Structure 1
């Protein structure tokens, strides 16, 4: 073993964790193929909020690269971290399009949520807050976000449309775009079911090409329309966040929702992934958990700085772990692979909603698996879970779904004499949501 290999082994503890450089690279490649859809889907969603698409793509890639590098080099965990699905939909469809805030103000809210997350992490409060939230609410919030994301996918595909008398109705499924979206949905589902690496990115590319061939979307006229050696500029979104406007607007529920989802989603995913990688301690604790959570918080602030939304730990990391990834070297390799995607920035303009909508539906379906953690036999658990899940798509807001979940859970437990099941933090959160509802009218 030469000096370089010895140093890499010593720094990342490769031998100690029974892995090799080659295995870490293959694990990184697997995770990259599985999660790379985000660099195509995230900019499309953010562009609907008004962010320039190419700048949003560059911001997405930079945020993933920098944060994943930190996760690998500092926390030494085989984790890729990037803009969260669900949180990007919340950013665009709730905060900007529904509440009428500018995307600059929304980025300010994302930065503040990252700062709050950072403070909670360095003080060691993060894990305590997450532990105080009942399993039912954690699971139902994840499932609710999944339903919300799927609802957006169904809307963007034209499978469902607005209706004056019934609010929503079945769209014109014989339309070319809608038919392609349905084909894309089946294709993506089949590829995922067959455990094909890069299933979602393959689906996006295939349907994009089919859409071009059908005349439903424009076709690239030259190779430079798809690949460019000129790095896309982030000037339109870099440092564009408006923190003062976010504070002045008083968007407590927005900042709180960003923070809570970042918090427990990151922690829960880290626990699950490190357990799968056999890295967790006998008591279930995660190695370098404080560093990992702090990295997530820093990532959200970095993401807002560049012009993207709040960060999450991707559950798709499980694919790389299954391939043998055990150390931060896998994260470093993955970050390097994401750097290369900057060359394909021009291609983003040729990806239609028809191609990305099926992916949103599939991801939403995957997130519904969390419902298995809900005790449906206990009515005091069932009703809050139901309200959390159903109110997200019906109000078109993750924040309002979370609020209904916390309020109903606390009040139902309180009035049925089961107050001992409530952590004092639950009362603080519930009161905060009540105050927010009153202030917002």
Structure 2
């Protein structure tokens, strides 16, 4: 055991980062638990293009394993990677369903995007963009991600729902009771709210692993409610069973083959204008989602140095770039750094051991997919909501006495949940920061790179 501990110390520099193996492993488990939903959601989205659902599940888990291990090895950071939400929907419903391209062509665009990212990472372009973002705006990105994560959690648990009149609204318990669907739609909302309070109490009591315990507690409550009839699953209404599907016996744990997706890339339209448009769309969203996640999570974890830069960021960006291209080869949309990494960081994760733990669980999930796919959205929602609170506290570090700093921060924060995009939040923040400071006579605060980014963002809204 002592030799193992010494090996972990040598590889991950635990003492140097003020952490322990136990803390890192718990953090890695927590990160995985908050990300496990992607194993169920990504196959559902990607299969809409005609891709084999079982193959997508295996490819999703493999992409999570490979990408997260790259992060652990290349950067020794606790960040996890997997096929990104939003990007997978863009892949399936915009590029394939709406624009009419094949999923093979879309995978080719993702692969090329990853190659471009590798070049940008090697030439320090992405690192320069990270470092060019002003200090206050970095804190705003962290706070905005907090609201974004909370909004995802509230939506996944149906605490907040779509409303034609007001766009969104709170779930109506009265409406569910009237419609006779409370056991299907109302019970998950109640369980999610209980989970939030339970997790918050554990946090106040400073219980180690409080977020992970919150997920497990809420999941177990869901199982008990399902067994007692208080919760009635109905897949057509988005309410799934909390019990693992083991109907096929031992065969249930056999990995699904990825052969229908492996190396199925179509480069026949590589030099067409439409291919370039698709490529640039993937490129923009991924680069700024990744930078936003790294800015926000690392700021919250106090990983930035005295110059507000992230040490070894090149390794983190390179891991993201390599994972994107490898993911495309095995059959998934853009693999990117996950904002849910904040859940593990909030549990004390500081090194690649956290990422390694998460990666191993992704690999294990290939063989235990019935179990991991049974974790309901209402059980992970409390974790996202509480992590959102932890991230949002970065707002206290913003200088609100200086409007030239505070107003762009405000736009960055509100854009993330309202536009449902970290990238758009960064875009809004950078554009307003540059314009406000240039017009009001504070040109010295705006770097040349910030000016270039502002022009690029504005052109993006006009042309794409």
Give the structure-2-normalised TM-score: 0.74
| 1:43 correspondence with 2:51 | no
| 1:83 correspondence with 2:82 | yes
How much has 1:50 moved relative to structure 2? 3.3
SS in 2 for 1:376: coil
The answer (yes or no) to whether the contact 1:94–1:397 under 8 Å persists in 2 is no
SS in 2 for 1:36: helix
Counterpart position of 1:150: 150
Alignment of 1:173-252 (within 5 A): 173=173, 174=176, 175-176=182-183, 177-191=185-199, 193-194=201-202, 195-197=207-209, 198-199=212-213, 201-203=215-217, 205-206=219-220, 208-210=222-224, 212-213=226-227, 214-216=231-233, 217-218=240-241, 219-220=243-244, 222=246, 224=248, 228-239=252-263, 244=270, 247-250=275-278, 252=280
SS in 1 for 2:39: helix
Counterpart position of 1:263: 291
The answer (yes or no) to whether the contact 2:79–2:337 under 8 Å persists in 1 is no
Segment drifting more, 295-304 vs 124-133: 295-304
In structure 2, C-alpha distance between the alignment counterparts of 1:203 and 1:311, rounded to whole Å: 29
How much has 1:128 moved relative to structure 2? 2.0
The answer (yes or no) to whether the contact 1:47–1:56 under 8 Å persists in 2 is yes
Counterpart position of 2:409: 385
Structure 1 residues 348 and 282, CA, compared in 2 at 3 Å: closer, same or farther?
closer
In structure 2, C-alpha distance between the alignment counterparts of 1:161 and 1:333, rounded to whole Å: 34
SS in 2 for 1:49: helix
In structure 1, C-alpha distance between the alignment counterparts of 2:133 and 2:169, rounded to whole Å: 36
Match of 1:374 among 395, 398, 418: 398
How much has 1:418 moved relative to structure 2? 1.0
In structure 2, C-alpha distance between the alignment counterparts of 1:382 and 1:402, rounded to whole Å: 14
How much has 1:263 moved relative to structure 2? 2.8
| 1:315 correspondence with 2:345 | no
In structure 1, C-alpha distance between the alignment counterparts of 2:220 and 2:88, rounded to whole Å: 26
The answer (yes or no) to whether the contact 1:55–1:234 under 8 Å persists in 2 is yes
SS in 1 for 2:342: coil
Aligned length: 425
Give the gaps of 5 or more residues in structure 2: 177-181, 234-239
In structure 2, C-alpha distance between the alignment counterparts of 1:367 and 1:226, rounded to whole Å: 41
Give the gaps of 5 or more residues in structure 1: none
The answer (yes or no) to whether the contact 1:208–1:351 under 8 Å persists in 2 is no
| 1:33 correspondence with 2:29 | yes
Segment drifting more, 280-289 vs 123-132: 280-289
How much has 1:34 moved relative to structure 2? 1.2
RMSD value over aligned CA atoms?
Answer: 4.2
In structure 2, C-alpha distance between the alignment counterparts of 1:411 and 1:127, rounded to whole Å: 23
1:191-217 deviation line (CA, Å, top 9, x unaligned): 365245223541563254246332224
In structure 2, C-alpha distance between the alignment counterparts of 1:251 and 1:169, rounded to whole Å: 35
The answer (yes or no) to whether the contact 1:254–1:399 under 8 Å persists in 2 is no
In structure 2, C-alpha distance between the alignment counterparts of 1:286 and 1:61, rounded to whole Å: 28
Counterpart position of 1:429: 453
The answer (yes or no) to whether the contact 2:56–2:258 under 8 Å persists in 1 is yes
